[in-house]
Amino acid sequence: MRTARRRVAPPTAAAVLAALAASTLLTGCAGDASGAQPSRISEVAPLGTGQPQVGRAGRQAPAPPVQQPAVLPGVGPRTLAEVPADARQVVLVTGAGRDATTGRVTLYRRDDVSGWVAAGPAWPAHNAARGWTDEHHSGDLRSPVGVFTLTDAGGRLPDPGTKLTYEHAPIGFTPHGTGVDGESLKGAFDYVIAINYNRKAGTSPRDWTRPMGESRGGGIWLHVDHGGPTEGCVSLPAAVLRTLLRTLDPALHPVVVMGDAAALAR
């Protein structure tokens, strides 16, 4: 007996077109066998256009950080312009007045987004017995106004852990005599940070080289407070000097910005 054969009808044109369409839909997400992905049009708005950034999944991406002005509190544009562009640490010394002998000191660090940010509290300080001057001279009993680099340190006591060049000289940093008001200077030079006013950077704080001449004074330091005004230096509590020594980093190009409030505001 012969088995009846079933005839299969050839595919219609409509069926062929449908199969091709289905194939196209599948390869549109997965790519071809080589792993290549189909090209896509980026939906991320260019930076600075103010348009929200949209990811490929349609979610809004966080906006880029906005650069803030690098201001220092109480420091005006003229003084700020003197701060080197590579400085990332500032010791800001703000005198209470042109003829005042006291002030406040704050350490600032420069943040790429927030600008200058306080890296500690405001510390009490003494400056020279007759206040501040824009043109310091030897014996005028005034502290120089300006922006000066900080590179070298030393003291009667051993290095507390600074990255600055430190000279330990127990005899060399022993003070003699008394302060302007007759107070003892004992311990005043336990720690010092040389302010690069009329001195050769990269040398001992005790080096007496005076690039602008002897008449313009020198030996201006940050040193330990002795309870009274200075002859030109800025004095701070011993614990603050240790903090500064451990924090200041030559790689961050630290500077001191110092003067009375009115002078700094220019």
- pTM of the entire predicted model: 0.75
Q: What is the pLDDT of residue 164?
A: 98
Q: What is the pLDDT of residue 59?
A: 56
d(CA 51, CA 55) in angstroms, rounded, equals 13
Q: Measuring CA to CA, which residue among 158, 195, 163 is closest to residue 173?
A: 158
Strand (E) positions, 112-214? 115-118, 123-126, 132-133, 143-144, 146-155, 165-168, 192-195
Secondary structure of the chain: what % helix, strand, coil (to 5)? 15, 25, 60
Q: What is the pLDDT of residue 60?
A: 60
Both structure tokens of 198:
């009329």
DSSP letter assigned to residue 131: -
Q: What is the pLDDT of residue 1?
A: 40
What average pLDDT values come out for the chain (266 residues) when binned by 10 residues? 44 43 36 35 31 47 58 96 97 98 98 94 98 98 98 98 98 96 97 98 97 98 98 98 98 98 98
- Helices within 31-113 (DSSP H only): 77-80
Q: What is the pLDDT of residue 44?
A: 30
Pairing status of strand 165-168 against strand 146-155: parallel
